[in-house]
Amino acid sequence: MASFNTYFKNWNVLSFWEKFILRTCCYLPPKSSALNVYHIKITDIAQYKNIYELAFGSDLWHEVNEKVVLDFGCGRGEFVLAAAMNGVKLAMGVDIQDNFNNAKELAKAIGLSNVHFILGDSNIIESKSVDVLTSHDAFEHFEYPEVILEEMIRIVKPNGRIYIKFGPTWMSPWGKHMFGTFRKDRPWIHLFFPEKWIMRIHSVYHNEDVILEKYSKRPGGLNKMTVKRCRKIISANSKVILEKFKVDMVYNLDFLKSIPLLNELFSSGVLLVLRVK
């Protein structure tokens, strides 16, 4: 294998222990830096529909039929296209990162007229203008999740629903969300080592020009959302009624749900269904 200096231009910035962790816990040789380059194809839409159903349940399509739906933190926009092709009156997506151009082009190419993407802050969306809001694997990335929940509530009509699915949760084996960096057989290392070390290793591994030291400074952010914190945020908001709170466990270890701490360490994700008052 080539020397580490060959792979990582900032290798010598790392401390002895940071280098040790990279050598023993990261994928070597490094995975391609082009992992995020992906083009959605029309044949992929059925797959995204199935993923949506797994996250929110098959009843979702009845809930959103002929309604205005917003995907909050829509990412590449694949779920917006899936909704637009499955009975939704208007499928909207909003995200602060410009990753949905491919989805916009595909929507235009196949003649989907019920798709609308918004780049930037959601405050340009009219209050009480959306029937159903979904958020798939985004809630753990918002820097101020309490504020984002208030914004979601502002956008949704009275008696409208908010569906939130996110994971992995922070204390789960892979809660650091660095799947292309740290090996899957190195669980919980983000709980054992300092945040500064993990982020510096991540920056060097991906040859980033700026060496980051906070999870919140990653592209997309990461707010260390635990199951307990999520419950607290929802319970503290009097503008919604909690209709469903479901915690999924890794390897189907559901018997651990009732055991404090273990229900965090072996959780994989959370599903919320909220009704706006």
In a domain, 14, yes or no: no
Q: Return the percentage of the chain with pLDDT > 70, whole number.
A: 97
Where is 24: in which H helix or E strand?
A: helix 16-25
- Asked if residues 17 and 210 have their Cβ atoms less than 8 Å apart, the reply is no
pLDDT class of 42 with cuts at 50, 70, 90:
confident
Residue 6 lies in a domain: no
**Region 16-33 average pLDDT:** 91
Cα separation, 174 vs 266, in Å, equals 10
Let me know: does 169 contact 268? Beta carbons within 8 Å.
yes
Question: Can you tell me whether residue 58 is helix, strand or coil?
Answer: coil
181 in a domain, yes or no?
A: no
> Does 213 map to a domain?
no
* Per-residue pLDDT at 10 exceeds 60: yes
Q: What is the pLDDT of residues 172-183, one digit of tens each?
A: 999 999 999 999
Distance CA 207, CA 212 (A): 11
Above 60 in pLDDT, residue 33? no
| Whole-number Å distance between alpha carbons of 46 and 37 | 20
Q: Confidence band (pLDDT; 50, 70, 90) for 35? A: very low
Angle at 225 between CA 273 and CA 123, to 5 degrees: 65
| Residues whose CB is less than 8 angstroms from the CB of residue 98 and which lie 6 or more positions away in sequence, other chains included | 119
In a domain, 131, yes or no: yes
| Confidence tier at 31 by pLDDT (50, 70, 90) | confident
Query: Total domain count for the chain?
Result: 1
Mean pLDDT of the chain: 94
The partner residues of 69 in beta bridges, in order of sequence, read: 91, 132
Range of the domain at 74: 42-169+226-276
* 1 assigned to some structural domain: no
**Does 175 fall in a domain?**
no
pLDDT tens digits for range 55-102: 999 899 999 999 999 999 999 999 999 999 999 999 999 999 999 999
How far apart are alpha carbons 254 and 96 in whole angstroms? Answer: 35
What CATH number does residue 267 fall under? 3.40.50.150
On whether residue 50 sits in a domain, the answer given is: yes
Give the pLDDT band (50/70/90) at residue 41.
confident
